[in-house]
Structure 1
Amino acid sequence: MTAIFNFQSLLSVLLLTVCTCTYIHRQFPALFDKRKEGVTTVFWKCARIGERASPYISLFCVFMALRLMLGSS
């Protein structure tokens, strides 16, 4: 089953995308410039979400890790 059809997997993929884009944007700020068009704009928006919603993103990461550790069905 792909991540599109499984809600928990979809949330994991979105969370990992936001976290990865935020980390890359902090290391290489010019890589995701907001004036670019195309796919990099999506990555820039994910990085911006990660920067501005940082406490909520980290809490969601902890929640997903606990859910995976406890073995969700």
Structure 2
Amino acid sequence: MSALFNFQSLLTVILLSICTCSFIRAMMPTLLDRRKTGLLGIFWKAARIGERLSPWVSACCLIMAFTILFW
């Protein structure tokens, strides 16, 4: 089943992409900073969300991990 049709899988993919983009931007900032517009700008925006809302993103990751493991 695709992640588009299952809401929990869609949230998992979004959270993982936010965390991954934030990590990539922390390690290699020029990689995402060059592509702020267009289709690849989504990854830059995800990195900004991960940087600015990091306590909320980490709380959502913990909640998502708990629901995946124990639900």
| TM-score, normalised by the number of residues in structure 1 | 0.89
Gaps of 5+ in 1: none
Find out whether 1:61 has 2:54 as its counterpart: no
Aligned alpha-carbon RMSD (Å): 1.3
Query: Any idea what the Cα deviations from partners look like across 1:20-63, whole Å, max 9, x if unmatched?
Result: 00000000000011664333211000000000000000000000
Give every structure 1 segment of 4 or more consecutive aligned residues whose post-TM-superposition deviation is greater than 6 Å.
Answer: none
Between the aligned residues of both structures, percent identity stands at 52
1:37 and 1:67 map into 2 onto residues whose CA distance is 34
Identify the structure with the greater helix proportion.
2
Check whether the contact 2:15–2:57 (CA below 8 A) recurs between aligned residues. Answer: yes
Aligned residues: 71
